[in-house]
Amino acid sequence: MPEVYKQLIDVADTLERHYKDMQDIEFTVEDGTLYMLQTRNGKRTAAAAVKIAVDMVREGLITEDEALLRIDPAALDQLLHPRIPSDDENKKAGKPNYDVAFKGLPASPGAAVGKVVFDSEEAFHMAAKGEDVILVRVETSPDDIKGMHAARAIVTARGGMTSHAAVVARGMGRPCVCGASDLRIDTAKGEFTARGRTFKKGDMITVDGVNGRVIAGAVELINPDLSGDFGELMGWADKRRKLKVRANAETPLDTRTAVEFGAEGVGLCRTEHMFFEEERIPAVRTMILSNDEAGRREALAKLLPMQRSDFEEIFRILGERPATIRLLDPPLHEFLPHTDEDIAGVAKASGLSAEELRRRAADLHESNPMLGHRGCRLGITYPEIYEMQARAIFEAAVNVSKEGKLKPVPEVMIPLVATHRELDILKKLVDETAKKVFAETGVTLDYMVGTMIELPRAALAAGEIAQAAEFFSFGTNDLTQTTLGISRDDAGKFLPAYSEKGIYEKDPFVTLDQEGVGELVKIAAERGRKTRAGIKLGICGEHGGDPASVEFCHRTGLDYVSCSPYRVPIARLAAAQAAIRGARK
């Protein structure tokens, strides 16, 4: 090796030691002399960043804290999902370019391979048979939850980064490409066309959620490498952070994923997702369509064992980790059929005429369902629903505790509270149900009752609400909608113009609006603690997995953040960074 290259290695080594980071160096050699032109911190993939940071700690170049600060938490997302080889890797491996069928928005990261399917019901059935499916829809609605859960990835023709498909897919950790305007779906023919090509139901495609591409055929995926370096870094993060990290999960699969990714409990178990499952929705609909309490109670009795077994499975997976279980939240019309075909099916099953069914659905129609008959308002008007859910929770906890040494820790959460009086009434209902179950079974368990703080009025009245609430979970999705007066489902029409003009620097549904929503969180935390010093405070909106928002939660002194399972490591790292930065100030 000529002397000049030895010099170069020396200099590079010195520079890297000086800057304590991998350097991207420009140099030239003229007449045998080395000229250094420029040096800067090198760009790297998340995997490389983790490796470099951990190596440097091992070499004593940087501290663990410095290593933790070097990694962009958001970039970890790349590491947590299977991915397709990059175009470069592909090229180097001598493989042809990807056959991109169409593009859309990169709405949820990761990659997945599967067969095209257009119907959520069908996606569910095919997945049940062990097939990998990709759900392709014009757009999704809450009816599609089951199919979205069953699918490996989701693709939609309409909707932005905050559309139902995008938000739910991110929450579930499913790769998603949305708003693919070239995509034309013909459900009747069982096919879609894009850029002049036609794909049929059952055709194999690969969804690249990182780059918003849908590729024809099956690409071999690279599995996430959660090996030593990553684990070591996460260990350092866990030592440093003050915030606990929980996950939003309601299926056994998601709960297991959450625990694998290091979640310390479930921060939001949305019980309504359990209501959409195929064998349950008829009973749910019978309940809704009942004319009286007796009819509702009969239908609820059928749902009780199903909800109970859901909770049992979640408690078994969680062990002694706590689970915050939110009682029914969405307006009841979300559970009724919408398409003519579904209406005919439900009419047949329920014994009502299609016309009567339509009339009942019209009666339940709301101008602004987000601000309508939902959340604890359901519990106030139909206490038997919340009573059944509370019973299912306590019976499940008792059953699991009887199985062995596990003592489940249920935290029953009442949603959409605005006044302490709502919580007083519903806490009484939950407490009475617990007492009954404990008397019936001879087993008594600890549990908590608390509330979501997701309405501005609840934040302002937090002092009074904390008299009954043992915990607050900030539902920052809805708190953002009400504080800013923006419906997340409708924001697509103007939020792009708002970003362009700098009105909101960041999408307030992604990064917490600290000036507005954040002030309400602070007010509620302060007033809640004044009434009940040790009140447990957490956040369970999508913001729980956003690093800037996690930092805000740390600064505000919350106890935990809860986010989608796939964002748990991101939140762990972000919480550690917040603690380190906070300590340095």
Binding site for its own copies (CB under 8 A): 366-373, 377, 380-381, 416, 418-419, 421-422, 425, 454-457, 460-461, 478, 481-487, 489-490, 493-494, 497-498, 501-504, 513, 515-517, 519-520
Give least dist CB 416 to its own copies, A.
6
Query: Which residue has tokens 């008959």?
Result: 373
Nearer to its own copies, 416 or 571 (CB): 416
Given the residues 176, 178, 269, 540, select the one marked as catalytic: 540
Q: For residue 450, which amino acid is it?
A: G
Cα 324 → chain centroid = 15
Half-sphere exposure of 122 (CA within 13 A, CB side): 14
Nearer to its own copies, 279 or 500 (CB): 500
Nearer to its own copies, 392 or 455 (CB): 455
CA 480, CA 216: separation in Å to the nearest integer?
39
Nearer to its own copies, 312 or 478 (CB): 478
Helix, strand and coil in the chain, % to nearest 5: 50, 20, 30
In this structure, the number of other CB atoms found within 10 A of the CB of residue 561 comes to 32
Q: For residue 278, which amino acid is it?
A: E
Nearer to its own copies, 410 or 508 (CB): 508
Spatial contact of 192 and 136, defined as CB atoms under 8 Å apart: yes
CA 396, CA 254: separation in Å to the nearest integer?
19
Give least dist CB 548 to its own copies, A.
18
Helix (H, G, I), strand (E, B) or coil at 81: coil
Residue 553 bears catalytic tag? no
Half-sphere exposure of 358 (CA within 13 A, CB side): 9
Give least dist CB 475 to its own copies, A.
11
Give least dist CB 488 to its own copies, A.
9
Nearer to its own copies, 395 or 478 (CB): 478
CA 468, CA 471: separation in Å to the nearest integer?
9
- The torsion angles phi and psi of 323, rounded to 5 degrees, stand at -130, 120
CA 74, CA 72: separation in Å to the nearest integer?
5
Closest CA to 133 of 189, 201, 198: 201
DSSP H/E element including 48: helix 46-58
CA 74, CA 550: separation in Å to the nearest integer?
12
Give least dist CB 550 to its own copies, A.
22
CA 426, CA 381: separation in Å to the nearest integer?
11
CA 328, CA 399: separation in Å to the nearest integer?
22
Give least dist CB 425 to its own copies, A.
6
Give least dist CB 581 to its own copies, A.
26
Given the residues 81, 164, 333, 420, select the one marked as catalytic: 164
CA 444, CA 379: separation in Å to the nearest integer?
24
Nearer to its own copies, 8 or 484 (CB): 484
Residue 333 bears catalytic tag? no
DSSP H/E element including 297: helix 293-318
CA 7, CA 80: separation in Å to the nearest integer?
40
Q: For residue 146, which amino acid is it?
A: K
Give least dist CB 515 to its own copies, A.
6
Spatial contact of 219 and 206, defined as CB atoms under 8 Å apart: yes
Nearer to its own copies, 455 or 539 (CB): 455
- Residues annotated as catalytic are 164, 540
